[in-house]
Amino acid sequence: MKLEWFGEKVMKAIRVATGTCEETVARMIVSDAKASGSFRDRTGALRRSIRMADSKYKDGGKLVMAGGRGPWGDAWYAPKVELGYKGASARPFLRPAKERARSRARRIFIGVFGTGARLTR
């Protein structure tokens, strides 16, 4: 009797499937946040600064972020819009987009992994 171990192949398949799901959900959040009407964007820099990036950690997944300097312009004020500050109330656009994507994300993960998939808060 010969026993074969497929653990590495299984883990690789899981990583690929998870990465695909994460990227799909991150793209949904970016799209939703850019379409948000919760803030005024006179120059377009804030909307252009909303983007997806890879985590700096191994197997860290995807990040959705906004602000900073880059080819979109200078949107240093993105955290102030999202969180508010003294003299101006918050106009969140990333957090609501994440919450709206939550149920769709669950369906995507369940479609890939089956009904045993659970998302934690």
- Domain residue limits, the chain: 7-113
Sorted by sequence, the CB contacts under 8 Å of residue 110 that are 6+ apart come out as 117
User: Does residue 58 contact residue 119 with C-beta atoms inside 8 Å?
Assistant: no
Residue 120 has a pLDDT of 57
Residue 46 has a pLDDT of 92
CA distance 104 to 85: 31
Q: By C-alpha distance, which of 106, 119, 82 is closest to 28?
A: 106
CA distance 5 to 10: 10
Predicted TM-score of the model (pTM):
0.80
Q: Tell me: the pLDDT tens digits for 58-72?
A: 878 899 999 988 777
Render each residue's pLDDT in the chain as its tens digit; 121 residues.
Answer: 777 777 788 788 888 888 888 999 999 999 999 998 888 888 889 999 999 999 888 878 899 999 988 777 789 999 999 999 998 899 999 999 999 999 888 888 888 877 655 555 5
Long-range CB pairs of 65-71 (<8 Å, 24+ gap) are: 66/33, 66/93, 66/94
CA distance 99 to 88: 23
Residue 78 has a pLDDT of 92
